[in-house]
Amino acid sequence: MPQLVTVKVHRPDRRPIRLWVPVLPVALVLFPVVVLVVLAAIVACVVFRIGVMRALGTGWRVISALPGARFDIEQDRMAVLVAIR
């Protein structure tokens, strides 16, 4: 499971903004929302006849694979860099 998300925003003619977001406290705060999303996903799996355990397992594998991922978004002179550790 990811532990830390680092966000760096490069803005033209200004100092870059750096944010370090610990995943665990954010996950604990958003836990009620996560429970509702999982329940909605289960209902969607039943409606569309998709294996519930297979879908939840695939979602967990995607989340487990996130550490080490890096997303770089650049547009004109502005850039947003996100690194998941």
Distances in whole angstroms, Cα of residue 27 to Cα of each of 67, 73, 82: 15, 24, 18
33 — pLDDT class (breaks 50, 70, 90)? very high
Whole-prediction pTM: 0.74
Distances in whole angstroms, Cα of residue 73 to Cα of each of 25, 40, 43, 77, 80: 26, 30, 34, 11, 5
CB 8 within 8 A of CB 73: no
Structure confidence by residue, pLDDT tens digits, 41-52? 999 999 999 999
Is the per-residue pLDDT at 1 higher than 80?
A: no
Count structural domains, the chain. 1
Is the per-residue pLDDT at 2 higher than 90?
A: no
What's the domain range around 53?
4-84
